[in-house]
Amino acid sequence: MNQRVYKEAKNSLVSAPVAALLSLFLPGLGQILARRIQRGLLLAGSMISLAGLMVWRIRIIGRLEEGFWGTLAKALSRNPLFVGFSLLALIGIWIWIVIDAARQTDKKKQYGNAIFALILLVFFAVGWQISQIDLVRLTRDANEAWTPLSKILWPWDAAVTRDTESLEAGAELLVDSEGEIPPVPEKRPGEPYILVEPRSGNLSKLDENNKVVPGTELTIRGENFEPNTHTEIWWSDAIGNEFQPRHEGRYLSVTTDDTGSFELKMVMPYRLVPPSARGPQYHEVIARQVSEVGPLLPSEPLLLTIELIIETIFMGMMATIFGIILSVPVSFLAARNLMSGSWVTMTIYYITRTILNIVRAIEPLIWALIAVVWVGLGPFAGIVALTIHSVAALGKLYSESIESINPGPIEAIQATGATKLQTIMFAVVPQMIPPFVSFTIYRWDINVRMSTVIGMVGGGGIGFLLVQYIRLLEYRSAGIAVWFIALTVSILDYVSAEIRNRFV
Protein backbone atom coordinates (compact mmCIF):
# COMPACT_ATOMS: atom_id res chain seq x y z
CA MET A 1 0.00 0.00 0.00
CA ASN A 2 1.39 3.39 -1.06
CA GLN A 3 1.80 5.91 1.70
CA ARG A 4 1.98 9.65 1.09
CA VAL A 5 4.75 11.52 2.78
CA TYR A 6 4.30 15.23 3.33
CA LYS A 7 7.21 17.59 3.72
CA GLU A 8 7.38 19.56 6.90
CA ALA A 9 6.76 23.17 5.87
CA LYS A 10 6.42 26.49 7.60
CA ASN A 11 3.06 28.19 7.95
CA SER A 12 2.00 30.55 5.17
CA LEU A 13 2.44 34.28 5.68
CA VAL A 14 -0.90 35.01 3.95
CA SER A 15 -4.31 33.42 3.70
CA ALA A 16 -5.47 31.43 0.69
CA PRO A 17 -7.57 34.25 -0.90
CA VAL A 18 -4.73 36.75 -0.50
CA ALA A 19 -2.21 34.33 -2.00
CA ALA A 20 -4.51 33.70 -4.96
CA LEU A 21 -5.08 37.43 -5.49
CA LEU A 22 -1.34 38.16 -5.36
CA SER A 23 -0.58 35.43 -7.94
CA LEU A 24 -3.32 36.85 -10.13
CA PHE A 25 -1.44 40.14 -10.38
CA LEU A 26 2.07 38.65 -10.27
CA PRO A 27 2.27 34.89 -10.99
CA GLY A 28 4.26 33.06 -8.32
CA LEU A 29 4.07 35.81 -5.68
CA GLY A 30 1.35 33.97 -3.74
CA GLN A 31 3.47 30.83 -3.62
CA ILE A 32 6.47 32.82 -2.38
CA LEU A 33 4.45 34.39 0.46
CA ALA A 34 3.06 30.93 1.23
CA ARG A 35 6.70 30.03 1.88
CA ARG A 36 6.99 27.85 -1.22
CA ILE A 37 9.77 30.11 -2.43
CA GLN A 38 11.45 27.75 -4.89
CA ARG A 39 8.12 26.78 -6.42
CA GLY A 40 7.02 30.41 -6.68
CA LEU A 41 10.23 31.53 -8.34
CA LEU A 42 10.08 28.64 -10.80
CA LEU A 43 6.46 29.42 -11.74
CA ALA A 44 7.19 33.15 -12.02
CA GLY A 45 10.22 32.54 -14.22
CA SER A 46 8.30 30.10 -16.42
CA MET A 47 5.37 32.48 -16.84
CA ILE A 48 7.59 35.46 -17.66
CA SER A 49 9.64 33.36 -20.12
CA LEU A 50 6.54 32.00 -21.86
CA ALA A 51 4.92 35.44 -22.07
CA GLY A 52 8.09 36.93 -23.54
CA LEU A 53 8.46 34.11 -26.06
CA MET A 54 4.82 34.44 -27.11
CA VAL A 55 5.09 38.20 -27.65
CA TRP A 56 8.24 37.63 -29.71
CA ARG A 57 6.67 34.93 -31.91
CA ILE A 58 3.42 36.89 -32.39
CA ARG A 59 5.41 39.90 -33.58
CA ILE A 60 7.33 37.74 -36.04
CA ILE A 61 4.26 35.91 -37.37
CA GLY A 62 2.21 39.11 -37.58
CA ARG A 63 5.00 41.38 -38.77
CA LEU A 64 4.38 44.56 -40.77
CA GLU A 65 1.13 45.15 -38.88
CA GLU A 66 0.74 48.23 -36.67
CA GLY A 67 -0.40 47.94 -33.05
CA PHE A 68 -0.45 44.94 -30.74
CA TRP A 69 -4.04 43.90 -31.48
CA GLY A 70 -3.55 44.19 -35.20
CA THR A 71 -0.40 42.12 -34.96
CA LEU A 72 -2.20 39.54 -32.82
CA ALA A 73 -5.11 39.33 -35.27
CA LYS A 74 -2.74 38.84 -38.21
CA ALA A 75 -0.75 36.20 -36.31
CA LEU A 76 -3.98 34.33 -35.49
CA SER A 77 -5.05 34.40 -39.13
CA ARG A 78 -1.66 33.18 -40.36
CA ASN A 79 -1.04 30.47 -37.75
CA PRO A 80 -4.24 29.90 -35.76
CA LEU A 81 -3.25 26.50 -34.35
CA PHE A 82 -0.01 27.60 -32.68
CA VAL A 83 -1.07 31.10 -31.61
CA GLY A 84 -4.51 29.98 -30.39
CA PHE A 85 -3.21 26.97 -28.47
CA SER A 86 -0.34 28.93 -26.89
CA LEU A 87 -2.57 31.80 -25.77
CA LEU A 88 -5.19 29.47 -24.28
CA ALA A 89 -2.45 27.43 -22.57
CA LEU A 90 -0.85 30.61 -21.20
CA ILE A 91 -4.18 31.77 -19.77
CA GLY A 92 -4.78 28.28 -18.36
CA ILE A 93 -1.36 28.26 -16.67
CA TRP A 94 -2.06 31.69 -15.17
CA ILE A 95 -5.38 30.52 -13.71
CA TRP A 96 -3.74 27.31 -12.51
CA ILE A 97 -1.02 29.35 -10.75
CA VAL A 98 -3.71 31.36 -8.98
CA ILE A 99 -5.46 28.19 -7.78
CA ASP A 100 -2.11 26.63 -6.87
CA ALA A 101 -1.22 29.69 -4.76
CA ALA A 102 -4.34 29.19 -2.66
CA ARG A 103 -3.54 25.51 -2.18
CA GLN A 104 0.04 26.16 -1.13
CA THR A 105 -1.17 28.01 1.98
CA ASP A 106 -2.30 24.65 3.35
CA LYS A 107 0.86 22.72 4.19
CA LYS A 108 -1.03 19.41 4.39
CA LYS A 109 -1.95 19.45 0.70
CA GLN A 110 0.26 17.94 -1.97
CA TYR A 111 2.32 20.32 -4.02
CA GLY A 112 1.14 18.88 -7.36
CA ASN A 113 3.47 18.96 -10.35
CA ALA A 114 0.93 18.65 -13.16
CA ILE A 115 1.21 22.38 -13.82
CA PHE A 116 4.86 21.94 -14.75
CA ALA A 117 3.85 19.31 -17.32
CA LEU A 118 1.61 21.91 -19.00
CA ILE A 119 4.41 24.48 -18.87
CA LEU A 120 6.78 22.02 -20.55
CA LEU A 121 4.12 21.31 -23.19
CA VAL A 122 3.85 25.02 -24.04
CA PHE A 123 7.63 25.34 -24.17
CA PHE A 124 7.65 22.36 -26.54
CA ALA A 125 5.01 24.02 -28.75
CA VAL A 126 7.03 27.25 -28.89
CA GLY A 127 10.19 25.28 -29.68
CA TRP A 128 8.33 23.42 -32.45
CA GLN A 129 7.28 26.71 -34.02
CA ILE A 130 10.68 28.40 -33.61
CA SER A 131 12.55 25.48 -35.16
CA GLN A 132 10.04 25.36 -38.07
CA ILE A 133 9.47 21.61 -37.86
CA ASP A 134 7.41 20.49 -40.87
CA LEU A 135 6.46 16.81 -40.74
CA VAL A 136 4.34 17.13 -43.87
CA ARG A 137 7.30 18.31 -45.90
CA LEU A 138 9.49 15.69 -44.26
CA THR A 139 7.29 12.91 -45.59
CA ARG A 140 6.18 14.61 -48.81
CA ASP A 141 9.71 15.38 -50.05
CA ALA A 142 11.22 12.05 -49.02
CA ASN A 143 11.24 10.86 -52.63
CA GLU A 144 13.14 13.95 -53.75
CA ALA A 145 15.76 13.36 -51.04
CA TRP A 146 16.23 9.76 -52.16
CA THR A 147 17.94 10.77 -55.44
CA PRO A 148 20.98 12.48 -53.85
CA LEU A 149 20.95 10.08 -50.90
CA SER A 150 21.13 7.04 -53.20
CA LYS A 151 24.16 8.56 -54.92
CA ILE A 152 25.87 9.06 -51.56
CA LEU A 153 25.04 5.53 -50.38
CA TRP A 154 26.40 3.96 -53.57
CA PRO A 155 28.85 6.39 -55.21
CA TRP A 156 31.23 3.92 -56.83
CA ASP A 157 30.19 4.74 -60.40
CA ALA A 158 32.15 7.97 -59.90
CA ALA A 159 35.17 6.17 -58.43
CA VAL A 160 36.46 4.93 -61.79
CA THR A 161 36.68 6.48 -65.22
CA ARG A 162 37.89 5.80 -68.73
CA ASP A 163 39.49 7.89 -71.43
CA THR A 164 36.85 9.60 -73.50
CA GLU A 165 36.14 10.46 -77.09
CA SER A 166 33.69 13.21 -77.96
CA LEU A 167 31.38 13.79 -80.88
CA GLU A 168 30.10 17.36 -81.02
CA ALA A 169 28.66 20.15 -83.10
CA GLY A 170 28.08 23.83 -82.37
CA ALA A 171 26.10 26.83 -83.53
CA GLU A 172 26.84 30.52 -82.92
CA LEU A 173 24.43 33.10 -81.45
CA LEU A 174 24.46 36.87 -81.25
CA VAL A 175 23.93 37.73 -77.59
CA ASP A 176 22.83 41.00 -75.92
CA SER A 177 24.32 43.21 -78.63
CA GLU A 178 23.84 44.55 -82.12
CA GLY A 179 25.65 43.04 -85.04
CA GLU A 180 25.38 40.61 -87.89
CA ILE A 181 23.37 37.51 -87.07
CA PRO A 182 25.49 34.37 -87.58
CA PRO A 183 24.65 32.35 -90.69
CA VAL A 184 22.98 28.95 -90.56
CA PRO A 185 25.67 26.30 -89.94
CA GLU A 186 26.67 24.35 -93.03
CA LYS A 187 25.69 20.70 -93.20
CA ARG A 188 28.38 18.18 -94.04
CA PRO A 189 27.52 14.59 -94.92
CA GLY A 190 28.07 12.14 -92.07
CA GLU A 191 29.11 14.82 -89.56
CA PRO A 192 27.05 15.90 -86.51
CA TYR A 193 25.05 19.07 -86.99
CA ILE A 194 22.89 21.35 -84.86
CA LEU A 195 20.64 24.28 -85.73
CA VAL A 196 19.62 26.87 -83.11
CA GLU A 197 16.67 29.19 -83.63
CA PRO A 198 16.51 32.09 -83.16
CA ARG A 199 20.18 32.85 -83.79
CA SER A 200 20.16 35.95 -81.58
CA GLY A 201 18.68 36.79 -78.20
CA ASN A 202 19.20 37.95 -74.65
CA LEU A 203 20.75 36.12 -71.72
CA SER A 204 18.86 35.57 -68.48
CA LYS A 205 19.44 38.42 -66.03
CA LEU A 206 18.94 39.30 -62.36
CA ASP A 207 16.47 42.04 -61.42
CA GLU A 208 16.81 44.44 -58.51
CA ASN A 209 15.54 41.73 -56.13
CA ASN A 210 18.14 39.21 -57.39
CA LYS A 211 15.45 37.15 -59.06
CA VAL A 212 16.20 35.56 -62.42
CA VAL A 213 14.51 37.14 -65.42
CA PRO A 214 14.41 34.41 -68.11
CA GLY A 215 16.19 35.12 -71.35
CA THR A 216 15.25 34.17 -74.90
CA GLU A 217 13.90 30.66 -75.44
CA LEU A 218 15.88 28.67 -78.00
CA THR A 219 14.97 25.62 -80.05
CA ILE A 220 17.90 23.25 -80.70
CA ARG A 221 17.74 20.58 -83.41
CA GLY A 222 20.49 18.06 -83.94
CA GLU A 223 21.27 15.45 -86.62
CA ASN A 224 23.87 12.78 -87.46
CA PHE A 225 24.74 12.00 -83.84
CA GLU A 226 25.07 8.48 -82.41
CA PRO A 227 21.55 7.02 -82.02
CA ASN A 228 20.00 6.45 -78.57
CA THR A 229 22.91 8.15 -76.86
CA HIS A 230 23.05 10.64 -73.99
CA THR A 231 23.94 14.07 -75.37
CA GLU A 232 25.06 17.01 -73.21
CA ILE A 233 24.27 20.62 -74.03
CA TRP A 234 27.11 23.07 -73.32
CA TRP A 235 27.40 26.84 -73.59
CA SER A 236 30.53 28.73 -74.62
CA ASP A 237 30.69 32.48 -73.97
CA ALA A 238 32.38 35.17 -76.02
CA ILE A 239 35.85 34.45 -74.58
CA GLY A 240 35.59 30.66 -74.90
CA ASN A 241 34.65 29.71 -71.32
CA GLU A 242 32.45 26.62 -71.37
CA PHE A 243 29.84 25.55 -68.85
CA GLN A 244 26.86 23.22 -68.84
CA PRO A 245 23.57 25.04 -68.20
CA ARG A 246 21.13 23.69 -65.62
CA HIS A 247 17.39 23.24 -65.88
CA GLU A 248 15.37 22.55 -62.70
CA GLY A 249 18.57 21.67 -60.84
CA ARG A 250 19.87 19.23 -63.47
CA TYR A 251 22.44 19.65 -66.19
CA LEU A 252 20.80 20.17 -69.56
CA SER A 253 20.98 17.05 -71.73
CA VAL A 254 18.93 14.99 -74.18
CA THR A 255 18.94 11.45 -75.60
CA THR A 256 19.01 11.06 -79.37
CA ASP A 257 16.42 8.96 -81.20
CA ASP A 258 16.98 5.92 -83.43
CA THR A 259 18.25 8.12 -86.26
CA GLY A 260 20.68 10.10 -84.11
CA SER A 261 18.49 13.23 -84.10
CA PHE A 262 17.03 15.28 -81.26
CA GLU A 263 15.08 18.45 -80.57
CA LEU A 264 14.78 20.39 -77.31
CA LYS A 265 14.03 23.85 -76.01
CA MET A 266 16.16 25.83 -73.59
CA VAL A 267 16.24 29.31 -72.09
CA MET A 268 19.42 31.28 -72.62
CA PRO A 269 21.30 30.99 -69.30
CA TYR A 270 22.50 33.67 -66.91
CA ARG A 271 26.02 34.78 -67.72
CA LEU A 272 27.74 37.89 -66.42
CA VAL A 273 29.00 40.00 -69.33
CA PRO A 274 32.03 42.11 -68.31
CA PRO A 275 31.54 45.89 -68.59
CA SER A 276 34.64 46.07 -70.81
CA ALA A 277 32.97 43.96 -73.51
CA ARG A 278 32.75 45.88 -76.78
CA GLY A 279 31.22 45.08 -80.14
CA PRO A 280 29.07 42.09 -81.11
CA GLN A 281 29.09 39.30 -78.54
CA TYR A 282 28.93 35.83 -80.08
CA HIS A 283 28.26 32.79 -77.89
CA GLU A 284 28.03 29.18 -78.99
CA VAL A 285 25.68 26.33 -78.18
CA ILE A 286 27.40 22.94 -78.28
CA ALA A 287 25.83 19.48 -78.40
CA ARG A 288 28.36 16.92 -77.21
CA GLN A 289 28.33 13.14 -76.96
CA VAL A 290 31.07 11.67 -74.81
CA SER A 291 31.92 7.97 -75.10
CA GLU A 292 34.30 6.03 -72.88
CA VAL A 293 37.18 4.06 -74.33
CA GLY A 294 40.11 2.13 -72.87
CA PRO A 295 40.60 0.47 -69.47
CA LEU A 296 39.13 1.53 -66.13
CA LEU A 297 41.15 4.18 -64.30
CA PRO A 298 40.75 5.74 -60.84
CA SER A 299 38.73 8.93 -61.11
CA GLU A 300 39.86 12.36 -59.93
CA PRO A 301 37.35 12.36 -57.00
CA LEU A 302 38.72 9.01 -55.82
CA LEU A 303 42.33 10.15 -56.03
CA LEU A 304 41.55 13.45 -54.28
CA THR A 305 39.62 11.63 -51.56
CA ILE A 306 42.49 9.22 -50.89
CA GLU A 307 44.98 12.09 -50.81
CA LEU A 308 42.92 14.18 -48.40
CA ILE A 309 41.89 11.29 -46.12
CA ILE A 310 45.61 10.62 -45.62
CA GLU A 311 46.06 14.32 -44.90
CA THR A 312 43.17 14.11 -42.42
CA ILE A 313 44.70 11.14 -40.58
CA PHE A 314 48.03 12.89 -40.24
CA MET A 315 46.35 16.11 -39.12
CA GLY A 316 44.77 14.18 -36.26
CA MET A 317 48.03 12.41 -35.48
CA MET A 318 50.15 15.58 -35.48
CA ALA A 319 47.61 17.47 -33.37
CA THR A 320 47.55 14.59 -30.88
CA ILE A 321 51.36 14.45 -30.65
CA PHE A 322 51.63 18.20 -30.11
CA GLY A 323 48.75 18.02 -27.64
CA ILE A 324 50.52 15.34 -25.59
CA ILE A 325 53.80 17.24 -25.51
CA LEU A 326 52.15 20.43 -24.31
CA SER A 327 49.46 18.96 -22.04
CA VAL A 328 51.67 16.68 -19.92
CA PRO A 329 53.50 19.53 -18.09
CA VAL A 330 50.25 21.51 -17.93
CA SER A 331 48.47 18.56 -16.30
CA PHE A 332 50.89 18.55 -13.37
CA LEU A 333 50.21 22.26 -12.80
CA ALA A 334 46.46 21.54 -12.87
CA ALA A 335 46.58 18.68 -10.31
CA ARG A 336 45.46 19.82 -6.85
CA ASN A 337 47.29 17.09 -4.94
CA LEU A 338 50.62 18.15 -6.47
CA MET A 339 50.06 21.92 -6.22
CA SER A 340 48.65 22.18 -2.70
CA GLY A 341 51.97 22.92 -1.02
CA SER A 342 51.63 26.70 -0.73
CA TRP A 343 49.48 29.63 -1.75
CA VAL A 344 51.78 30.27 -4.71
CA THR A 345 51.31 26.80 -6.17
CA MET A 346 47.56 26.92 -5.48
CA THR A 347 47.36 30.22 -7.37
CA ILE A 348 49.11 28.57 -10.31
CA TYR A 349 46.67 25.66 -10.00
CA TYR A 350 43.58 27.90 -10.17
CA ILE A 351 44.97 29.95 -13.07
CA THR A 352 45.85 26.82 -15.03
CA ARG A 353 42.43 25.25 -14.39
CA THR A 354 40.63 28.42 -15.46
CA ILE A 355 42.58 28.67 -18.71
CA LEU A 356 41.95 25.00 -19.50
CA ASN A 357 38.22 25.42 -18.88
CA ILE A 358 38.00 28.49 -21.11
CA VAL A 359 39.96 26.90 -23.97
CA ARG A 360 38.01 23.65 -23.73
CA ALA A 361 34.68 25.49 -23.76
CA ILE A 362 35.41 26.85 -27.25
CA GLU A 363 34.72 24.24 -29.94
CA PRO A 364 37.53 23.17 -32.33
CA LEU A 365 35.45 24.57 -35.20
CA ILE A 366 35.77 28.07 -33.69
CA TRP A 367 39.48 27.58 -33.09
CA ALA A 368 39.79 26.54 -36.75
CA LEU A 369 38.19 29.79 -37.89
CA ILE A 370 40.66 31.72 -35.75
CA ALA A 371 43.58 29.60 -36.98
CA VAL A 372 42.61 30.18 -40.62
CA VAL A 373 42.88 33.92 -40.02
CA TRP A 374 46.12 33.35 -38.12
CA VAL A 375 48.08 30.99 -40.40
CA GLY A 376 45.91 30.86 -43.53
CA LEU A 377 43.91 28.11 -45.20
CA GLY A 378 45.21 24.56 -45.16
CA PRO A 379 45.99 21.63 -42.89
CA PHE A 380 48.31 23.67 -40.65
CA ALA A 381 45.33 25.74 -39.51
CA GLY A 382 43.50 22.52 -38.67
CA ILE A 383 46.48 21.20 -36.71
CA VAL A 384 46.72 24.45 -34.73
CA ALA A 385 43.02 24.35 -33.88
CA LEU A 386 43.04 20.70 -32.84
CA THR A 387 46.25 21.12 -30.86
CA ILE A 388 44.85 24.02 -28.84
CA HIS A 389 41.71 22.09 -27.96
CA SER A 390 43.68 18.87 -27.33
CA VAL A 391 45.95 20.59 -24.81
CA ALA A 392 42.93 21.80 -22.84
CA ALA A 393 41.08 18.47 -23.02
CA LEU A 394 44.07 16.23 -22.30
CA GLY A 395 45.34 18.59 -19.61
CA LYS A 396 42.05 18.24 -17.75
CA LEU A 397 41.88 14.45 -18.16
CA TYR A 398 45.53 13.94 -17.21
CA SER A 399 45.25 16.21 -14.16
CA GLU A 400 42.14 14.42 -12.91
CA SER A 401 43.97 11.12 -13.28
CA ILE A 402 46.87 12.51 -11.28
CA GLU A 403 44.47 13.64 -8.55
CA SER A 404 43.02 10.13 -8.28
CA ILE A 405 46.32 8.24 -7.94
CA ASN A 406 47.22 6.20 -4.87
CA PRO A 407 48.97 8.49 -2.32
CA GLY A 408 50.85 5.58 -0.73
CA PRO A 409 53.80 5.47 -3.16
CA ILE A 410 54.07 9.28 -2.99
CA GLU A 411 54.34 9.22 0.80
CA ALA A 412 56.86 6.40 0.66
CA ILE A 413 59.09 8.24 -1.81
CA GLN A 414 58.81 11.49 0.14
CA ALA A 415 59.79 9.64 3.36
CA THR A 416 63.13 8.85 1.76
CA GLY A 417 63.82 12.57 1.31
CA ALA A 418 63.14 12.65 -2.42
CA THR A 419 62.73 16.00 -4.18
CA LYS A 420 59.52 17.13 -5.87
CA LEU A 421 60.82 16.09 -9.28
CA GLN A 422 61.93 12.67 -8.00
CA THR A 423 58.53 12.15 -6.39
CA ILE A 424 56.79 12.84 -9.69
CA MET A 425 59.18 10.63 -11.69
CA PHE A 426 59.11 7.57 -9.42
CA ALA A 427 55.74 7.78 -7.66
CA VAL A 428 53.38 9.65 -9.98
CA VAL A 429 54.47 8.78 -13.53
CA PRO A 430 54.33 4.94 -13.14
CA GLN A 431 50.72 5.22 -11.96
CA MET A 432 49.85 7.57 -14.82
CA ILE A 433 50.94 5.49 -17.80
CA PRO A 434 47.74 3.36 -18.19
CA PRO A 435 45.23 6.26 -17.98
CA PHE A 436 47.51 8.50 -20.05
CA VAL A 437 47.62 5.90 -22.84
CA SER A 438 43.85 5.43 -22.70
CA PHE A 439 43.09 9.15 -22.81
CA THR A 440 45.66 9.73 -25.57
CA ILE A 441 44.15 7.08 -27.82
CA TYR A 442 40.70 8.46 -27.16
CA ARG A 443 41.85 11.95 -28.05
CA TRP A 444 43.51 10.73 -31.26
CA ASP A 445 40.20 9.20 -32.28
CA ILE A 446 38.42 12.50 -31.54
CA ASN A 447 41.01 14.52 -33.47
CA VAL A 448 40.64 12.38 -36.59
CA ARG A 449 36.86 12.73 -36.44
CA MET A 450 37.10 16.49 -35.88
CA SER A 451 39.59 16.80 -38.77
CA THR A 452 36.74 15.88 -41.13
CA VAL A 453 34.67 18.77 -39.75
CA ILE A 454 37.13 21.63 -39.41
CA GLY A 455 38.06 21.19 -43.07
CA MET A 456 34.67 22.67 -43.88
CA VAL A 457 35.87 26.07 -42.65
CA GLY A 458 39.20 25.89 -44.47
CA GLY A 459 41.17 23.84 -41.98
CA GLY A 460 42.35 21.31 -44.55
CA GLY A 461 41.60 17.63 -44.72
CA ILE A 462 38.77 15.79 -46.40
CA GLY A 463 36.10 18.02 -44.89
CA PHE A 464 37.08 20.84 -47.24
CA LEU A 465 36.67 18.53 -50.24
CA LEU A 466 33.37 17.14 -48.95
CA VAL A 467 31.74 20.54 -48.52
CA GLN A 468 32.83 21.59 -52.02
CA TYR A 469 31.28 18.50 -53.57
CA ILE A 470 28.02 19.09 -51.69
CA ARG A 471 27.88 22.74 -52.77
CA LEU A 472 28.42 21.68 -56.39
CA LEU A 473 25.70 18.99 -56.04
CA GLU A 474 28.27 16.33 -56.91
CA TYR A 475 26.63 13.76 -54.65
CA ARG A 476 28.49 10.72 -55.98
CA SER A 477 31.85 12.39 -55.37
CA ALA A 478 30.62 13.46 -51.93
CA GLY A 479 29.54 9.86 -51.32
CA ILE A 480 33.08 8.62 -51.99
CA ALA A 481 34.38 11.05 -49.35
CA VAL A 482 31.68 9.97 -46.87
CA TRP A 483 32.53 6.28 -47.37
CA PHE A 484 36.25 6.91 -46.84
CA ILE A 485 35.52 8.90 -43.69
CA ALA A 486 33.38 6.08 -42.32
CA LEU A 487 35.96 3.41 -43.22
CA THR A 488 38.82 5.42 -41.75
CA VAL A 489 37.00 6.05 -38.47
CA SER A 490 36.06 2.36 -38.22
CA ILE A 491 39.63 1.22 -38.83
CA LEU A 492 41.02 3.74 -36.34
CA ASP A 493 38.46 2.61 -33.78
CA TYR A 494 39.64 -1.00 -34.20
CA VAL A 495 43.31 0.00 -34.02
CA SER A 496 42.77 2.14 -30.92
CA ALA A 497 40.90 -0.71 -29.24
CA GLU A 498 43.81 -3.07 -29.92
CA ILE A 499 46.34 -0.57 -28.55
CA ARG A 500 44.19 -0.04 -25.47
CA ASN A 501 44.01 -3.79 -24.83
CA ARG A 502 47.78 -4.11 -25.04
CA PHE A 503 48.86 -1.16 -22.92
CA VAL A 504 45.98 -0.35 -20.58
What pLDDT was estimated at residue 207?
83
Does residue 268 have a pLDDT over 70? Answer: yes
Question: What is the torsion angle, in degrees rounded to the nearest 10, for the CA atoms of residue 258, residue 263, residue 268 and residue 274?
Answer: 50
What pLDDT was estimated at residue 504?
60
- The listed range with the strongest mean pLDDT (4-18, 181-195, 265-279, 408-422) is 181-195
What pLDDT was estimated at residue 220?
94
Does residue 411 have a pLDDT over 70? Answer: yes
What pLDDT was estimated at residue 66?
79
* Domain boundaries of the chain, sorted by first residue: 16-133, 160-297, 301-503
What is the C-alpha separation between 344 and 339, in angstroms, rounded?
9
201 contacts 215 by C-beta, under 8 angstroms: yes
Helix (H) or strand (E) holding 44, with range, is helix 37-61
**CATH code that applies to domain 160-297:** 2.60.40
* Mean pLDDT, the chain, whole residue set: 85
Compute the 3-state secondary structure of the chain and give helix, strand, coil in percent, each to the nearest 5. 60, 15, 25
Does residue 10 have a pLDDT over 80? Answer: no
What pLDDT was estimated at residue 9?
53
Reported as a pLDDT band with limits 50, 70 and 90, residue 403 is confident
What is the C-alpha separation between 442 and 142, in angstroms, rounded?
37
What is the C-alpha separation between 368 and 87, in angstroms, rounded?
44
What percentage of the chain exceeds 70 in pLDDT?
96
What is the C-alpha separation between 120 and 117, in angstroms, rounded?
5
Reported as a pLDDT band with limits 50, 70 and 90, residue 7 is very low
Q: What is the DSSP string of 441-469?
A: HHHHHHHHHHHHHHGGGT--SHHHHHHHH
Instruction: Report the b/e string of 138-165 with b at 16+ CB within 10 A.
Output: eeeeeeeeeebeebbeebeebbebeeee
What is the C-alpha separation between 503 and 261, in angstroms, rounded?
70
Does residue 8 have a pLDDT over 80? Answer: no
Nearest to 320 by CA among 233, 246, 397, 242: 397
Which residues is 62 bridged to in the sheet? none
469 contacts 481 by C-beta, under 8 angstroms: yes
Architecture of the domain delimited by 301-503: Orthogonal Bundle (1.10)
Q: How far apart are the first and last CA of the chain?
A: 50
What is the C-alpha separation between 20 and 101, in angstroms, rounded?
5
Question: What is the torsion angle, in degrees rounded to the nearest 10, for the CA atoms of residue 479, residue 484, residue 486 and residue 487?
Answer: 140
What is the C-alpha separation between 406 and 267, in angstroms, rounded?
78
What is the C-alpha separation between 122 and 85, in angstroms, rounded?
9
What pLDDT was estimated at residue 210?
81
User: Which amino acid, residue 202?
Assistant: N
Reported as a pLDDT band with limits 50, 70 and 90, residue 5 is very low
3-class SS letters over 265-308: EEECCECCCCCCCCCCCEEEEEEEEEEEEEEEEECHHHHHHHHH
What pLDDT was estimated at residue 246?
86
236 contacts 242 by C-beta, under 8 angstroms: yes
Reported as a pLDDT band with limits 50, 70 and 90, residue 4 is very low
Helix (H) or strand (E) holding 201, with range, is strand 200-201
**pLDDT tens profile 280-317:** 889 999 999 988 787 888 888 999 999 989 988 888 88
Reported as a pLDDT band with limits 50, 70 and 90, residue 388 is very high
Distances (CA, A) of 482 to 98, 394, 444, 496: 56, 28, 20, 21
What pLDDT was estimated at residue 109?
64
What pLDDT was estimated at residue 461?
82
The average pLDDT across 118-138 equals 87
Residue 198 preceded by cis peptide, ω within 30:
yes
